[in-house]
A and B are shown apart, each in its own frame.
Chain A
Amino acid sequence: MGPAVTGPALATQGLVAGYERDLPIVRGIDLAVQPGELVVVLGPNGAGKSTFVKAIAGVVPMHEGRVFLGGADITSVPAHEKLGRGLAFVPQTENIFATLTIAENLQLAADILPRPARAERIRAMYAMFPDLASRPGLRAGQLSGGQRQMLAVARALAVGPSVLILDEPSAGLSPRIAGEVFATLRAINKTGVTIILVEQNVKAALSIAHRGIILVEGRIRHEGEAAKLAGDPLLGELFLGGHKTARVAS
Chain B
Amino acid sequence: MIVQTLVDGLIAGTMIGLGAIGITLTYSILRFANFAHGELISWGAYAALVASTALGTIAAPLSQPIEPFSFGWSLPLALLIAMLATGLLALFVDTLLFGRLRARGGAVIILVMAGFGAALTMRSLLEFLFTTKPAYFTDTLQIAMKLGLGARATPDQILSLAVGAAVVMGVHVLLTRTAMGRAMRAVSENPQLASIAGIDVRRVIRFVWLLGAALACLAGVMAGLIVQIRPHMGHDLLLPLFAAAILGGIGSVPGAMIAGLIVGLAEALSVQFIGAEWRAATAFAILVAVLLLRPQGLFGRPA
Q: Do chains A and B touch in the complex (CB under 8 A)?
A: yes
Q: Is A155 an interface residue (CB 8 A)?
A: yes
Restricting to A77-130, which residues have a CB under 8 Å from any CB of B? 78-81, 83-84, 89, 91, 94-100, 104, 107-109, 111-112
Query: Given the complex, which residues of A lie within 8 Å of B196, measured CB to CB?
Result: 57-59, 79-80, 83, 89, 91
- Cross-chain contact B193 with A94 (CB below 8 angstroms): yes
B contacts with A: majority SS: helix
Q: What separation, in Å, do the CA atoms of A109 and B196 have in the docked complex?
A: 10
Q: Is B96 an interface residue (CB 8 A)?
A: no
Query: Given the complex, which residues of A lie within 8 Å of B182, measured CB to CB?
Result: 100, 104, 107-108, 111
Q: Is A206 an interface residue (CB 8 A)?
A: no
Q: In which size bucket is the chain B interface?
A: 10 to 19
Restricting to A179-238, which residues have a CB under 8 Å from any CB of B? none
Q: What separation, in Å, do the CA atoms of A210 and B230 have in the docked complex?
A: 71
Restricting to B176-211, which residues have a CB under 8 Å from any CB of A? 179, 182-183, 185-186, 189-190, 192-201
Q: What separation, in Å, do the CA atoms of A100 and B182 have in the docked complex?
A: 8
Q: Is A153 an interface residue (CB 8 A)?
A: no
Question: B15 to nearest A CB, angstroms?
Answer: 29
Contacts A59-B192, A91-B193, A111-B179; A100 near B199 (Cβ below 8 A): no
A contacts with B: majority SS: loop
Restricting to B94-141, which residues have a CB under 8 Å from any CB of A? none
Query: Given the complex, which residues of B lie within 8 Å of A111, measured CB to CB?
Result: 179, 182-183, 198
- Cross-chain contact B189 with A97 (CB below 8 angstroms): yes
- Cross-chain contact B189 with A159 (CB below 8 angstroms): no
Q: What separation, in Å, do the CA atoms of A57 and B200 have in the docked complex?
A: 14
Question: B80 to nearest A CB, angstroms?
Answer: 28
Q: Footprint of B on A, CB under 8 Å?
A: 57-59, 78-81, 83-84, 89, 91, 94-100, 104, 107-109, 111-112, 155, 159
Q: Footprint of A on B, CB under 8 Å?
A: 179, 182-183, 185-186, 189-190, 192-201, 301
Other 4 A-B pairs with CB < 8 A, given A100-B189, A159-B198: A59-B196, A108-B186, A108-B197, A111-B179
